[in-house]
């Protein structure tokens, strides 16, 4: 990702560290696609016959999620205390840990890159200090498509390493310049966009946090923050932190981001 402002230099380094794109390997005989509800061998970390790297079978998304949840709960339990700093650290490490968990549990021959690494590496970023915001511009350059992505309340570490990489991916996939801003700065962010040659304006947020403004098309980002129908995701811990993220395979995170990017493109058509 190109840095044209004062963005924390750790951003690109963290993205690169999480990259795992294996060399293409043509299997001798592809495994048949798994079906939801079928019986599958259990491969959970606490069992005696646990196998690092998974076992030879093709799992449906729900079963893949069960493997990742098992590993995360045993290896990286959610902080028990309501300490905001502890949760911030947990969420900041979540993308790296999900990539690691997927490599161990689902096998290293798959693509386990998170959305920011897979799609957002070439996005340009500049700070808007007066708004406490950043502008993510796709590699194709600024155009007439603009959006505001409302930060749901992540701490500084989680914002840098978990939330903003997904915003970068959305910007690149949708060809939309995105202002990432705190929820309290929505009016100021929309005012900034109004000063741009924008023909398309959107708000990316959980619906309840987007306010009552009708100045932009709303894109519901709830699947990034809490379990939603249609996606194989799980609440973090007991669900008390579910508004800030979900446990899912990197592949499922990429699918969610691609779907949101599609909605952004439709909003601008």
* CATH number of the 115-266 domain: 3.40.50
Instruction: Specify the pLDDT at position 156.
Output: 94
The helix/strand/coil state of 122 is coil
Q: Is the dihedral of CA 105, 110, 116, 117 positive or negative?
A: positive
**Residue 109 dihedral angles phi and psi, to the nearest 5°:** -85, 0
187 contacts 40 by C-beta, under 8 angstroms = no
What whole-number distance in Å separates Cα of residue 254 and Cα of residue 213?
29
Q: Is the dihedral of CA 15, 17, 18, 19 positive or negative?
A: positive
Instruction: Specify the pLDDT at position 43.
Output: 56
225 contacts 246 by C-beta, under 8 angstroms = yes
What whole-number distance in Å separates Cα of residue 224 and Cα of residue 246?
7
Entry pTM: 0.79
Look at the chain and count its residues: 269
Widest Cα–Cα separation across the chain: 61
> Which runs of consecutive H residues, i.e. helices, occur in the chain?
10-17, 61-75, 84-106, 115-119, 156-158, 164-174, 186-194, 250-267
Mean pLDDT by 10 residues, the chain (269 residues): 51 54 47 54 59 61 93 90 86 96 87 95 94 94 88 93 97 96 91 87 75 75 94 84 80 98 84
Name every residue whose Cβ is closer than 8 Å to that of residue 262 and which is 6 or more positions away in sequence: 174
What whole-number distance in Å separates Cα of residue 231 and Cα of residue 49?
29
Instruction: Specify the pLDDT at position 13.
Output: 58
Q: Which residues pair with 147 in a beta bridge?
A: 178, 202
Sorted by where each begins, the domain ranges of the chain are 115-266
What whole-number distance in Å separates Cα of residue 176 and Cα of residue 100?
30
Structure tokens at 112: 């386990």
C-alpha distances (whole Å) from 132 to each of 13, 81, 185, 247 are 22, 28, 8, 28
């Amino acid at each position: 990702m190109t840095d044209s402002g004062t963005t924390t230099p750790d951003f690109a380094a963290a993205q690169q560290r999480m990259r795992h794109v294996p060399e293409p390997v043509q299997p001798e005989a592809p495994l048949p696609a798994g079906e939801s509800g079928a019986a599958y061998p259990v491969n959970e970390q606490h069992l005696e016959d646990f196998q690092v790297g998974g076992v030879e079978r093709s799992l449906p998304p729900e079963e893949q999620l069960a493997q990742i949840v098992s590993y995360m709960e045993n290896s990286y339990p959610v902080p028990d205390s309501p300490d905001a700093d502890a949760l911030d650290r947990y969420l900041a490490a979540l993308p790296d840990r999900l990539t690691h968990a997927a490599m161990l549990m689902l096998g290293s021959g798959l693509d386990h890159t998170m959305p920011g690494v897979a799609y957002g590496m070439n996005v340009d970023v500049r700070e808007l200090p007066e708004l406490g915001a950043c502008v993510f511009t796709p590699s194709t350059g600024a155009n007439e498509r603009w959006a505001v992505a409302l930060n749901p309340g992540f701490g500084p570490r989680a914002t840098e390493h978990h939330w903003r990489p997904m915003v970068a991916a959305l910007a690149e996939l949708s060809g939309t310049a995105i202002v990432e801003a705190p929820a309290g700065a929505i009016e100021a962010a929309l005012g900034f966009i109004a000063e741009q040659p924008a023909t398309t304006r959107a708000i990316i947020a959980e619906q309840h946090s987007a306010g009552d403004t009708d100045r932009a098309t709303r894109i519901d980002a709830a699947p990034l923050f809490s379990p939603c129908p249609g996606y194989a995701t799980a609440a973090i811990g007991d669900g008390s932190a579910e508004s800030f993220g979900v446990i899912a395979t990197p592949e499922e995170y990429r699918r969610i981001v691609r779907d949101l990017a599609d909605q952004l493109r439709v909003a601008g058509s």
